[in-house]
Structure 1
């Protein structure tokens, strides 16, 4: 069933008003008519099954028929910190990792980042990335839209490590730890109580990988250097792989 995110203010007592591009999508693309049903979520605390009451030129009014339980989000809150890759690879990372279950994306600049950061252009890119996250969240029936943060410098990223319960630094020249060896005891301890939650930050490098100096400073800041197996993954693949492994170990994808 089609799903849309709206702002909390668009939820009324017994109705929801959908506006903007989503309203046009309902009326023009989906050819919605009174009585058609879809799901709306405010991305915070309310989600409902609704039926179209009326369609105007720029808005759709729908009657709430059932409040739904918001239970699609993983207990392990994973943030993907991705060094800016070339081309549209960041779009792929955001789209696929949103589908898998990431809650936040933090683009950053590292020593081997090839992309030339331009603050003026970055505003438009950030807007597009957030739109991609929204559309992927709707397609995957997420309860929230993952946040896409402003790009950070390396030192700024290091300074954010204390905000997370665990930080894993994905490094092809890792020092002996494999991701599973780190995640298994962490998730077992952090998520042992019903309803408990934990936060994990996964750092993924650019096309050329991280430097040894970056690995050293990341570990000094509290990160654990981990490997993702004996194969070298593309930068846009590494985050998806690490995220899926983390959610599996936390019991979100068939794990114990």
Structure 2
């Protein structure tokens, strides 16, 4: 069944409206017609069975029927702070971490970050990442969109981690093997993951992160590409502390 997002205020209307790229996709790609069934969700945990009432070039009017609460979100709150990467790498990474259940995506500038875009470009990139994230939510049957933050400085990013129960600084130079004995620690309800740039974090960044309560951790003897490291870190954290695989008591 085809699945689409509607804002929460639309769900209260007698005939909600789907607009923008979704409306064009329904008409020109899927070629759906009045009477065809679809599923819509409001981004707040509620999903609806619906059918198409009418279509025109700009919008699709629908009628809602069955309402159901669907819980596909992880019980673990995950924030991924990712050093700014080149465009295509970042685009793909945003889509993949949505599928892995990440709640909050925070791009930031590390000292060795190679791209140094201006404010206009970073704003444009954020809008693109938000669009990609919403598309991924539709595909993977999540109920709540991942929040995509503006680009932050390294210091601002450290401050954002303050309320998280577990703060992980992935660094190939040194660190504990967190995942070799996960039962040695209380199971966290939130995890903040920090991944560096292609050139890696500098020692001074590690010291600053440690002062903010971060633990330096490694994932083994091999050097991973940045985007590989981010996916591996989110998967392992979700497996050990979230809802992917065996849960750790």
Question: d(CA) in 2 for partners of 1:15 and 1:174?
Answer: 57
Question: d(CA) in 2 for partners of 1:248 and 1:48?
Answer: 30
Aligned to 1:189: 187
Q: 8 Å contact 2:169–2:194 — kept in the other structure? A: yes
Unaligned runs of at least 5 residues, structure 1:
191-197
> Cα distance, 1:94 vs. partner?
0.4
Q: How does 1:157-196 map to 2 (within 5 A)?
A: 157-175=157-175, 177-181=176-180, 183-186=182-185, 189-190=187-188
Name the Cα RMSD after superposition.
1.7
Aligned to 2:85: 85
Aligned to 1:68: 68
**1:36-63 deviations in whole A, cap 9, x for unaligned?**
1221111114211211122122111222
> Cα distance, 1:249 vs. partner?
0.9
Q: How does 1:3-14 map to 2 (within 5 A)?
A: 3-12=3-12
**1:139-196 deviations in whole A, cap 9, x for unaligned?**
1111011111001111111112212121100111223x1131575455x534xxxxxx
Aligned to 2:236: 245
Aligned to 2:16: 16
Unaligned runs of at least 5 residues, structure 2:
none
SS at match of 2:223: coil
- Give structure 1 regions of 4+ aligned residues with deviation exceeding 3 angstroms: 181-186
**Counterparts in 2 of 1:55 and 1:83: CA distance versus 1, 3 Å:** same
Q: 8 Å contact 1:183–1:246 — kept in the other structure? A: no
> Cα distance, 1:117 vs. partner?
2.7
Q: How does 1:223-238 map to 2 (within 5 A)?
A: 223-238=214-229
TM-score (normalizing by structure 2): 0.93
Q: How does 1:93-242 map to 2 (within 5 A)?
A: 93-175=93-175, 177-181=176-180, 183-186=182-185, 189-190=187-188, 198-242=189-233
State the number of aligned residues.
247
Q: 8 Å contact 2:169–2:209 — kept in the other structure? A: yes
TM-score (normalizing by structure 1): 0.91
